[in-house]
Amino acid sequence: MSASVQDICTTHPVSVPRTEGLQWWHTAVIYQIYPRSFADSDGDGLGDLPGITARLGHLARLGVDALWLSPSTPRRRPTTATTSPTTATSTRSSAPSRTRTR
């Protein structure tokens, strides 16, 4: 015996929670952003705040009410090494020194 579409697709009452008296964040759409990977505005490969603000209109069209910015550390400028790995010398001897005294 096969079931009809009407048998499968029955409607059931669904209770929708009331939003009266709730704080705004109980019903808001909150979008979390990791700034370093969200949007890059200056082409250095790392996301930044100007990149985020340039896309606020897109987030608003999606229905986002609030943004949660993940913590991010300050950018570190690359430092140049004073010695190259091929010319660096070790301060540690390769074999321990074993001297005997009599």
Whether residue 35 is contained in a domain is answered as yes
Whether residue 44 is contained in a domain is answered as yes
Whether residue 41 is contained in a domain is answered as yes
- For the chain, what is the domain count? 1
**3-state per-residue secondary structure call for the chain:** CCCCHHHHCCCCCCCCCCCCCCCHHHHCCEEEECHHHHCCCCCCCCCCHHHHHHCHHHHHHCCCCEEEECCCCCCCCCCCCCCCCCCCCCCCCCCCCCCCCC
- pTM of the predicted structure, to 2 decimals: 0.50
Q: Give 24-75 pLDDT, tens digit per residue.
A: 888 999 999 999 999 999 999 999 999 999 999 999 999 999 999 998 777 6
Closest CA to 50 of 65, 62, 35: 35
DSSP 8-state secondary structure symbol assigned to residue 82 = S
Domain with 52 in it: 31-72
What pLDDT, on a 0 to 100 scale, did the predictor assign at position 80?
Answer: 66
